[in-house]
Amino acid sequence: MEIIADEIVESGGEVNYPIHEALNWNPAKWRTVWQSGKQQRPELFGALIHSWNPILEKPEVFQVKLSKPLIDHKKGKPRKYENPAKR
């Protein structure tokens, strides 16, 4: 397991979104919030839980526990874990 921020800015200015990549989400679709007149992505952290893929012989993200869970609108409560979306 590893704890990671969703937005990482590299020294060259390149921005990576490791939680979105692990869950196969599109970072451009993630909602933004307005703060001080500027549009900003909400701060998000997650615990990446890995499992071993015997076919690829490497670990893969199995689930992610988000710092700000998404709401399951059918159940009316926050989801405990997120699973990678099918590609």
- Taking the mean position of all CA atoms in its chain, how far away is CA 78? 15
Which DSSP string do the residues of 7-34 spell out, in sequence order? -EE-TTS-EE-HHHHHHT--GGGS--EE
Contact indicator for 20, 27 with CB cutoff of 8 Å? yes
Q: Give the pLDDT band of residue 1 (cuts 50, 70, 90).
A: confident
CA distance 79 to 74: 11
pLDDT at 41: 63
CA distance 63 to 7: 18
What's this model's pTM, rounded to 2 decimal places? Answer: 0.73
Rounded to the nearest 10 degrees, how much is the dihedral formed by the CA atoms of 9, 42, 47, 25?
A: -80
- pLDDT tens for 27-85 read 766 655 544 555 556 688 999 999 999 999 999 999 999 999 999 999 999 999 999 98
